[in-house]
Structure 1
Amino acid sequence: MIRHLVLFKLNEGVAKDDQRVLAGVKAFAELGPLIPELREWECGWNITERDIAYDYAINSLVEDRESLQSYLTHPAHQAAAGQWREFATWVIADLEV
């Protein structure tokens, strides 16, 4: 199994209530049931307000590297991630668990 983690940081001057952000959050919230390779899907806002904290996170689980690649190239994932490119940066980690 592979745990896929993504942490998002909103760009300077972009607020959580920005219409682009709200649309991006909605797109990610809807991904779970759309992509069959996802065994688990969680996403949401960070609740801490520390300087080093990221703003939004995705925590997902897939079966193997092939499933991860299928998820990453899925059109729904590509569309959702494309929205976030407009207003955020992110870091990822893929852990074999």
Structure 2
Amino acid sequence: MGVRHVVLFKFKDGINWSDPRAEEAEAATLRHPLHIPEIANWSCGRNTAARSIAHDFAVIGDFADRDAVHRYLTHPDHVRGVELWRAIADWSVVDFELDTESAV
């Protein structure tokens, strides 16, 4: 059974994609799979919905188990990404177990 890690980022007031810090945080996040071997599958991108409740950026990562998630969270490349995002955004996280036996 694997774990899916979902993160939704919302820019702080005054921040948008024209800010070079936003582009730097995005680039660091896109590169995580190149540096963090625990990542089994990785998808991320900018929001395209024009709704007031929408977030600005999302990450979906799959991991073999909770231990792999822990190693990812403490990996120096991820820690650097957190520092970049912390300066410009707030976020919400959900980690849930993937049950391949009962997948719809």
Query: Which range, TM-score by smaller chain?
Result: over 0.9
1:4 to 2:5 alignment? yes
Distance 1:26 1:18 in 2: 13
Distance 2:94 2:40 in 1: 17
In the TM superposition, structure 1's runs of 4+ consecutive aligned residues that sit over 3 Å from their partners are none
Structure 1 match to 2:101: none
Structure 2 match to 1:31: 32
Distance 1:60 1:85 in 2: 19
Distance 1:17 1:59 in 2: 23
Distance 1:82 1:69 in 2: 17
RMSD of the TM alignment (CA)? 0.6
TM (norm. structure 2) is 0.91
Structure 2: give runs of 5+ residues left out of the alignment: 99-104
Distance 1:22 1:94 in 2: 25
Q: Which amino acid aligns with 1:23?
A: E
Q: The residue matched to 1:12 in structure 2 has which SS?
A: coil
TM (norm. structure 1) is 0.98
1:50 to 2:47 alignment? no
Structure 2 match to 1:88: 89
Question: In percent, how many aligned pairs have the same letter?
Answer: 37
Structure 1: give runs of 5+ residues left out of the alignment: none
Structure 1 match to 2:76: 75
- Tell me the number of residue pairs that the alignment of Structure 1 and Structure 2 aligns: 97
